[in-house]
Amino acid sequence: MIRGMGFNQIAILGVGLMGGSIGLACRADANHLKIAGYGHRLEDLKLAMDRGAIGRATGDPAAAVADADLVILCTPVGLFRNLMATIAPALKPGAIVTDVGSTKRSGTELAKELLPPHVQFVGSHPMVGGEKHGIANARADLLTGALCIVTPVESTDPAAVVAIEGFWQQLKMRTTRMSPEVHDQLTADISHLPHAVAAALVRIQSPESLRVAARGFLDATRIAGGDSALWRDIFLDNRDNLKAGVVRLQAELQQLLARLEAGDADAVQEWLGAASKVRSAMKSETRSTKSE
Amino acid sequence: MIRGMGFNQIAILGVGLMGGSIGLACRADANHLKIAGYGHRLEDLKLAMDRGAIGRATGDPAAAVADADLVILCTPVGLFRNLMATIAPALKPGAIVTDVGSTKRSGTELAKELLPPHVQFVGSHPMVGGEKHGIANARADLLTGALCIVTPVESTDPAAVVAIEGFWQQLKMRTTRMSPEVHDQLTADISHLPHAVAAALVRIQSPESLRVAARGFLDATRIAGGDSALWRDIFLDNRDNLKAGVVRLQAELQQLLARLEAGDADAVQEWLGAASKVRSAMKSETRSTKSE
């Protein structure tokens, strides 16, 4: 199975920013695919049809997946349990199921518990998104050039992993593999903790301090403008790793305060300089649509 | 004295990003001004001359200020004590001295201690800058449209305050007035704490987590790439307010963790939603050159 060419029919469950953008990218880069879309809001389904993100619309997840050899869960992760239970009896033998959730342990566990043995589940996390959401903001190039983390477990059929990687690569994504456990640790540090901190930075402000905000603050807190229902699910799902991240962040800040208290200018500069060196070495911008 | 038109000769002490940009803005918007520049590095002075940011260059601060009716301190705040002591005997009676430091209490105290009674000191903080620095990055429009906080004290001559505000307005800045104490509290929350947190977020990462960084992390930590010597001075100078900010940030994060531990989805969403609402109401971007 080469670069996802084995798929003919796909089902996109949830036609928001991610589901819609995947559909539009398929139309651009994998035009042979027939795409069924499920959504619970009629107006979103209609817009997804109008924009060409899906070829067929249904309000019934089971009907969406019936003929699909690739099923992509694009709803918030908090809905995965009900969704998997609903589609399980309707899945075609040999079908591959993936998702685009920002946490990977819980979805993988649910798939093991709820999906039939005649399908393969391979978790995916396209590292895109940002503060915008909804089908209206979906774009054919949202995924282009971004990283997709694929999270197989020991029991996953290697052919299914290759097929899923090929699918994302066909949509011009870069891919990398890691376990769901490692994924959830790394994304807690690089994505979920930064989001929590950005929200906390906004929460401590007063109208007076917000009035003198400049670009530094706006950049540092941009992610805090994201969908709170989506991030609620992510935080609840990954709370153990998030908590560990908060503890380490607090230790770093305590170290800074101790150096400030001691009036040790060299030690303060060393603390700041180590961060500046690492951050300066990273490319300073990705394309403006890229985010987690 | 109307909108800074009363000034004829100005001295810019320190020809880096800020000093250079002020010089270039003067050439664009207040072309009548004669500008003397002081710097301790010959190559920076030469580049400032070549770029037209200053009209006369000297390695002696006292020589730079001798004829100036406006003196602008643009060096790191850690150098202000020596600089003020050096220029004090050379300042012209009636001259106005300002600075562009990111903290305002200490500079105001130093001015009271070191400058002669026949000059007026009025602190300024143009809320621009960012992760770039040096005369090579100076730009005539760096200040344009940004906010300049002016920080008089009770004893400041009101005419001097109006003159300084007029000067910044002539360079197309917006201005606002507050005491040095209020300034240092507000900027600790909106600028210094976000910088400390961004650096801490970078410091806790591993090579593995950095490898999966997306735009959200890059935006949230952009400010951490700034000049560590500059920020060392700011942090040391404003450590009491910075410490108070860290305490409040930690309390916010503990509140989040408690809600996550309790598994209270509504409470987690409320916590995130309050931040999202505030952040979404702010303009999402200022011009790309603006920062604190």
Asked whether residue A287 is assigned to any structural domain, the reply reads: no
Q: What CATH number has the domain bearing residue B95?
A: 3.40.50.720
Distance from CA of B162 to the nearest CA of A (A): 20
Q: Please give the average per-residue pLDDT across B162-172, as a whole number.
A: 97
Smallest CA-to-CA distance from B12 within B68, B71, B60, B57 is with B71
Query: Which pair of structure tokens corresponds to residue A192?
Result: 């979920």
Q: Please give the average per-residue pLDDT across A224-246, as a whole number.
A: 94
pLDDT at A286: 43
Please give the mean pLDDT across all residues of chain B: 93
pLDDT at B6: 79
CB contacts, 8 Å: B131 with chain A: 280, 284
Does residue A147 have a pLDDT over 90?
Answer: yes
**A246-290 pLDDT, tens digit each:** 999 999 999 999 999 999 999 999 999 999 999 999 975 443 333
pLDDT at B133: 83
**B59-98 pLDDT, tens digit each:** 999 999 999 999 999 998 889 999 999 999 999 999 999 9
Alpha-carbon span A33 to A40, nearest angstrom: 23
Same domain, B150 and B271: no
Examine the fold and report which residue of A155, A179, A203 is the final residue of a domain before the chain moves on: A179
Does B291 or A38 have the greater pLDDT score?
A38
Same domain, A193 and A174: no
**A182-219 pLDDT, tens digit each:** 999 999 999 999 999 999 999 999 999 999 999 999 99
- Predicted confidence band of residue B131 (pLDDT cuts 50, 70, 90): low
Please give the mean pLDDT across all residues of chain A: 93
Same domain, A217 and A158: no
- Concatenating the DSSP letter of every residue in B195-221 gives HHHHHHHHHT--HHHHHT--HHHHHHH
pLDDT at A289: 37
What residues contact A128, with CB distance under 8 A and at least 6 apart?
A18, A21, A142, A143, A146, A289, A290, A291, A292, B214
pLDDT at B285: 45
CB contacts, 8 Å: A177 with chain B: none
Chain A contact probe: residue of B81, B176, B177, B203 with most A CBs at under 10 A:
B203
Same domain, B168 and B187: no
Structural domain containing residue A242: 183-281
pLDDT at A78: 87
The answer to whether residues B46 and B64 touch, using CB atoms and an 8 Å cutoff, is no
> Which of A194, A214, A243 lies closest to B201 in CB terms?
A194
Q: Please give the average per-residue pLDDT across A161-176, as a whole number.
A: 97
Asked whether residue A148 is assigned to any structural domain, the reply reads: yes
For residue A264, the Cα-to-chain-centroid distance in whole angstroms is 42
- Concatenating the DSSP letter of every residue in A71-126 gives EEE-S-GGGHHHHHHHHGGGPPTT-EEEE--S--HHHHHHHHHHS-TTSEE-EEEE
pLDDT at B132: 77
Examine the fold and report which residue of B178, B203, B237 is the final residue of a domain before the chain moves on: B178
pLDDT at B289: 37
Give this prediction's pTM.
0.89
The answer to whether residues B156 and B148 touch, using CB atoms and an 8 Å cutoff, is no
Asked whether residue B148 is assigned to any structural domain, the reply reads: yes
Asked whether residue A2 is assigned to any structural domain, the reply reads: no
Does residue B100 have a pLDDT over 90?
Answer: yes
Smallest CA-to-CA distance from A70 within A24, A22, A112 is with A22
The answer to whether residues A37 and A64 touch, using CB atoms and an 8 Å cutoff, is yes
**For chain B, how big is the Rg over CA atoms in Å?**
21
pLDDT at A131: 66
When divided into structural domains, chain B yields a total of 2
pLDDT at B139: 96
Asked whether residue B150 is assigned to any structural domain, the reply reads: yes
Percent of chain A with pLDDT over 90: 90
**B244-290 pLDDT, tens digit each:** 999 999 999 999 999 999 999 999 999 999 999 999 999 754 433 33
Examine the fold and report which residue of A156, A179, A202 is the final residue of a domain before the chain moves on: A179
Chain B contact probe: residue of A132, A144, A221, A279 with most B CBs at under 10 A:
A279
Same domain, A261 and A145: no
Q: What CATH number has the domain bearing residue B193?
A: 1.10.3660.10
Percent of chain B with pLDDT over 70: 94
**B211-227 pLDDT, tens digit each:** 999 999 999 999 999 88
- The yes/no answer to whether this complex scores an ipTM above 0.85 is yes
Same domain, A38 and A95: yes
Chain B contact probe: residue of A215, A233, A282, A286 with most B CBs at under 10 A:
A215
Smallest CA-to-CA distance from A26 within A173, A184, A175 is with A173
**A100-124 pLDDT, tens digit each:** 999 999 999 999 999 999 999 999 9
Asked whether residue B240 is assigned to any structural domain, the reply reads: yes
CB contacts, 8 Å: B174 with chain A: none
> Which of B203, B215, B256 lies closest to A252 in CB terms?
B203
User: What does each C-alpha distance from B170 to A184, A190, B130, B152, B166 come to in angstroms?
Assistant: 52, 43, 22, 19, 6
**Residue whose pair of structure tokens reads 């915008």 in the numeric block:** A132
**Residue whose pair of structure tokens reads 């996550």 in the numeric block:** B260
Does residue A4 have a pLDDT over 70?
Answer: no
pLDDT at B160: 97
Give the A window 172-211 contacts with B, CB below 8 Å. 176, 182, 186-187, 189-191, 193-206, 208-211
pLDDT at B280: 93
The answer to whether the CB atoms of B209 and A190 lie below 8 A apart is yes
Same domain, B148 and B213: no
Alpha-carbon span A292 to A168, nearest angstrom: 16
The answer to whether residues A270 and A277 touch, using CB atoms and an 8 Å cutoff, is no
Percent of chain B with pLDDT over 90: 90
Alpha helices in chain A (DSSP H): 17-29, 42-50, 61-65, 80-87, 105-114, 158-170, 180-187, 193-203, 207-211, 215-221, 228-237, 239-261, 265-281
User: How many CB contacts within 8 angstroms connect chain A with chain B?
Assistant: 309
Asked whether residue B287 is assigned to any structural domain, the reply reads: no
pLDDT at A132: 78
DSSP SS3 for A35:
strand
The residue of chain B with its CA nearest to that of A205 is B189
Asked whether residue B130 is assigned to any structural domain, the reply reads: yes
Same domain, A19 and A55: yes
- Predicted confidence band of residue A233 (pLDDT cuts 50, 70, 90): very high
Same domain, A41 and A149: yes
Same domain, B164 and B52: yes
Q: Please give the average per-residue pLDDT across B197-210, as a whole number.
A: 97
DSSP SS3 for B177:
strand
Percent of chain A with pLDDT over 70: 94
pLDDT at B264: 97
User: What does each C-alpha distance from B173 to A136, A214, B103, B169, B184 come to in angstroms?
Assistant: 37, 13, 19, 5, 20
**A14-27 pLDDT, tens digit each:** 999 999 999 999 99
The answer to whether residues A171 and A147 touch, using CB atoms and an 8 Å cutoff, is no
Distance from CA of A241 to the nearest CA of B (A): 11
- Residue A61: other Cβ atoms inside 10 A: 26
Distance from CA of A151 to the nearest CA of B (A): 13
Chain A within 8 Å of B166 (Cβ-Cβ)?
Answer: no
Chain B within 8 Å of A291 (Cβ-Cβ)?
Answer: yes
Same domain, B218 and B152: no
Same domain, A131 and A193: no
Looking at residue A199, its amino acid is A
Q: Return the exposure string of B263-289: e unless at least 16 CB atoms fall within 10 Å of the residue's CB, then b.
A: eebebbbebbbebbebbeebeeebeeb
